[in-house]
Amino acid sequence: MKYQHQSLHSTTIALMFAAAAFLLPASAFATCSAPASGSLAICQPSANSTIYQVPHIEAAANPSSGSITTMKVYIDNKQVFENSGGELSLFEGGVANGTHHLVINAWDTLGRLYQAQENFSVTGNLPFSCPPSAVGVRICAPASGQVVSQNLGFAAGFKGNAAITHVRAYIDSADDFDMTPAAGQSAVIADGLTTSAGAHTLKVVAWDANGGVYSSSVSITTYYEGGCPPKGDTCNPGVYITTPNDGDDVESPFRLSASVQFNTASITSMKVFVDGIQAAESTGPSFDQPVQAAKGTHVVTIQAVDTAGKLYRLTENVNVQ
């Protein structure tokens, strides 16, 4: 699961891992080639592409003369990062679902400005807010019928005829989340609820100071998501990828190698989807094939099914050069 940053407001509590911008060496994920002299190029995300959860931003500037001293990244007119030198490669957390405007500026030793800009979209994150629309409980995410990770996150708003004093979330009949809202708080955005893969009901219940009870429920299907908890020596069932890594620059066709590990039943098939369209398939618990994709940034999803009908899924971004 990718961690994401969420802003905290007086009416919302976010129980999530905050992610700042992580700067990486430009060579860590292949190359962002220097553009023509006197220009700046954004290598990824590609213009008008859709990114799953956290965008990998790569750019390079080539001055007319001298050297690049500073590069700054702006998303929706807000500066989110600054770097010295003529290249940058970072994963920028805290970008909400929806369409965004990316601007990257660079300055050389003579003060000359170089600029590139584009639009891109983000999907797959929890909403950053969930205001209640009326008295009661409103579940903004996940949506009813949605297929989501077994490491479940949810967003819910609540409003009572009196102040809400307690909120609880159940997965089926299990109490998985409890909180006492702060004064004036009317929403919760939480991550890290864990359940098994399969069909479940998420129910959020709120109690007010006068004993009023409010609730809302959604039916969801969860898939196994791989990962090894920091404590203990047992890893979760899931799809584990060898190559490419999230945010990699690749050439088409690119090799995709992954396998299902720690599965609870025999795997019948694995399928690869590029931007939601099936691109390849294999039988059994492993996949190692070339995958074709057009130039640009893409969302790649690897999904497996076992004999018990349980889903295993991994989603990441790749950038085809």
Tens digits of pLDDT across the chain (321 residues): 343 333 333 334 344 433 445 444 333 345 788 999 999 999 999 999 999 999 999 999 999 999 999 999 999 999 999 999 999 999 999 999 999 999 999 999 999 999 999 999 999 999 999 999 899 999 999 999 999 999 999 999 999 999 999 999 999 999 999 999 999 999 999 988 989 999 999 999 999 999 999 999 999 999 999 998 777 678 999 999 999 999 999 999 999 999 999 999 999 999 999 999 999 999 999 999 999 999 999 999 999 999 999 999 999 999 999
* pLDDT confidence of residue 192: 82
User: Do 18-123 and 238-320 fold alike per CATH?
Assistant: yes
pLDDT at 103: 98
CA gap 2, 92 in Å, rounded:
11
- The answer to whether the beta carbons of residues 151 and 168 sit under 8 Å apart is no
pLDDT value of position 31: 77
Domain ranges of the chain: 18-123, 136-223, 238-320
Burial call 155-190: b when 16+ CB within 10 Å, e when fewer: bbbbbbeeebeebebbbeeeebbeeebeeebbbbbb
On whether the CB atoms of residues 316 and 52 are closer than 8 A, the answer is yes
> Is the distance from CB of 49 to CB of 91 less than 8 angstroms?
no
Looking at domain 136-223, its CATH superfamily turns out to be: Immunoglobulins (2.60.40.10)
In this prediction, residue 2 carries a pLDDT of 41
* CATH 1.10.10.10 for domain 238-320: no
pLDDT of residue 14: 41
Q: How far are the Cα atoms of 137, 148, 185, 200, 212 from residue 215, in angstroms, in the given order?
A: 5, 21, 17, 16, 10
Instruction: Tell me the whole-structure pTM to 2 decimals.
Output: 0.86
How far is residue 134's CA from residue 138's CA, in Å, rounded to a whole number? 8
pLDDT value for 177: 95
Q: How far apart are CA 129 and CA 148, in angstroms?
A: 19
Rounded to an integer, what distance in angstroms lies between the CA atom of residue 5 and that of residue 2?
10
Q: Is the CATH number 3.40.50.10800 carried by domain 18-123? A: no
CA-based nearest residue to 312, from 279, 264, 280: 264
